[in-house]
Amino acid sequence: MLDQCEIDRAVVGIRTQVRAGAKITNTVLLGADYYNREVDDTGVPLGIGKDVVLDRVIVDKNARVGDGARLVNAAGVQEADGNGYFIREGIIIVPKGATISPGTIV
């Protein structure tokens, strides 16, 4: 489900939800095993939130990226581990079932 977003040079998997204002480039979204419009105990709905920016990211299945998050690796970090993500060879990876809090900047 895509809603008023920009997607360029990306793979979008089955049941992926991308909300309004999101900008996604050079990214792989693996989708979800189910549709879910409700939020979990983190308060972040399944999929990609409003006004999210993703560049060179792999988002595994059933992951949640909160509104306003920017995952772009502007600093060019090659290897790192963060809360709900890790970076390998400069690519940000959001593992299966992980949650990125709203407003997170990487």
Give Cα 99 distance to the centre of its chain.
9
> b/e map of 53-77 (b: 16 or more CB within 10 Å)?
bbbbbbbbbbbbbbbbbbbbbeeee
* CATH architecture of structural domain 6-100: 3 Solenoid (2.160)
Give Cα 81 distance to the centre of its chain.
16
CA 29 – CA 25 distance, rounded (Å): 11
Residue 36 has a pLDDT of: 78
Report domain extents, the chain: 6-100
Q: What is the mean pLDDT of the chain?
A: 95
* pLDDT tens digits, 7-41: 999 999 999 999 999 999 999 999 999 987 777 77
pTM of this structure: 0.93
Residue 35 has a pLDDT of: 86
